[in-house]
Amino acid sequence: TGLITLDLGYKNTGATLSEITYLDGDQGELFYRGYPIEQIAEKSNFTEVMYLLLHGELPTEDQLDTFNGNIKKYNFVAEEMKKIIDAFPRSAHPMGVLSTLTSALTAFNPKSVNVQSKEEMDLAAELLIAKFAHLAAWTYRKTLGLPLNHGDNSLDYVENFYKMAFRLPNEEFVINPVVTAALNKLLILHADHEQNCSTSTVRMVGSAHTGLFASVSAGISALWGPLHGGANQAVIEMLELIEKDGGDVNKWVAKAKDKNDSFRLMGFGHRVYKNFDPRAKIIKKAADDLLAALGIEDKALDIAMQLEKVALEDEYFIERKLYPNVDFYSGIIYRALGIPTEMFTVMFALGRLPGWIAQWKEMRLKGDPIGRPRQVYQGAQKRDYIDISNR
């Protein structure tokens, strides 16, 4: 079998050839299909970016119309899916509900499983994108015990999601363009990030030719964890805790450095970015602009900025090249938009969806082999079975 290279956490193992996203961790640069993230975040919108990631090129007006039309056409979710949601307790975390519902979609769209051609893959992708906005919105309505509503096809994808999730019964819905712009920007910044934990999970599951919906469901579970997408929720909880504790950021930075204390500065550090996370830079400015535009003052933003300042001047963080990542300021924007903490990671999932799908499609079209890492065995050597009465 040859020599096995051990690389815990795949820190230095390339698992695939990809043409979707390039990131340079030393320079702090990120590109989707060759376009710098700064330009995309400033000028594009989420549906266009979904198209770009899935198809490799920016769409023409006709192509974008067709894409948006298909997403509206396919957004029906089977009534039986509501019974699945009903079975959860209201206290269920929306990410767990979302993962279950996404996997359950397979049962209602069986043709999406055994796909071979690019056209079949694109159809499965559009079905999932269309229905996912409903599922994501419903996970939140479930926590409030509100009726599960359907979308408004006169709205675009992002506004439709926002209305489905957050409009209360009988409330008039007027969406502020500042809110739409901020949401689009956040979703775009989360849309893909090459072989991160959840994307690698989607590829790994999909490499067994498991269907798209089940593969993405596994990715949602991976994203849920606090070291990955769950960090955005953990950041706000941390900032609230620091505020409640009197706001002494130095004390918390010291805790994060203490190796006998499991506390980590959430929203800090990244496996690949060792200079800065370009997404964090864009989000920090967007958070500043949004709070100013909406006339909101948020103590959490002050604490976040103080924390950043103290940490960036601290030897521990400098030596280890730990900088704020995408999750450090995103929660402040979500909060300003009225999105509750337990929905933050669902927002990340909605943003990451096109990345997961594009990577799954690329893997299948390139015919990557089934994922199957090796190991270095450390367990007991050969020994004989002992009958239970003699143990």
User: By rule CB under 6 A, what string of x and - marks binding of each residue 271-290 to ligand CMC?
Assistant: x-------------------
Binding status of residue 320 toward ligand CMC by CB under 6 A: yes
Contact partners, residue 255, CB within 8 Å, separation at least 6? 261, 263
Q: Report the DSSP beta bridge partners of residue 29.
A: 24
Nearer to ligand CMC, 151 or 269 (CB): 269
CB of 255 to ligand CMC, least distance (A): 9
Q: Could you tell me the CA-to-CA distances from 231 to 4, 237, 280 in Å, in that order?
A: 33, 10, 13
DSSP track, 217-259: HHHHHHHHSTTTTTHHHHHHHHHHHHHHTT--HHHHHHHHH-T
Nearer to ligand CMC, 109 or 232 (CB): 232
Residue 170 DSSP label? T
Kindly indicate which of the ranges 123-131, 136-144, 172-180, 221-229 contains the residues binding ligand CMC, using the contact rule CB under 6 A. Answer: 221-229
List alpha helices for 245-376, DSSP H: 249-257, 278-294, 299-312, 315-319, 326-336, 344-366
**The two structure tokens encoding residue 93:** 């975390």
**270 flagged as catalytic:** yes
Binding status of residue 192 toward ligand CMC by CB under 6 A: no
Residue 327 to residue 231: CA distance in whole angstroms: 6
Single out the residue of 231, 249, 282, 363 in contact with ligand CMC (rule: CB under 6 A). Answer: 231
Binding status of residue 229 toward ligand CMC by CB under 6 A: yes
Binding status of residue 327 toward ligand CMC by CB under 6 A: yes
First to last CA, the chain: 36
Catalytic option among 122, 270, 288, 302: 270
Catalytic option among 288, 327, 368, 387: 327
**55 flagged as catalytic:** no
* Total number of residues that touch ligand CMC (CB under 6 A): 20
360: exposed, middle or buried (Cβ count in 10 Å: 0-12, 13-18, 19+): buried
Single out the residue of 269, 351, 354, 355 in contact with ligand CMC (rule: CB under 6 A). Answer: 269
- Residues with active-site annotation: 270, 327
**Which residues of this chain interact with ligand CMC, rule CB under 6 A?**
9, 196, 227-229, 231, 256, 264-271, 320, 322, 325-327
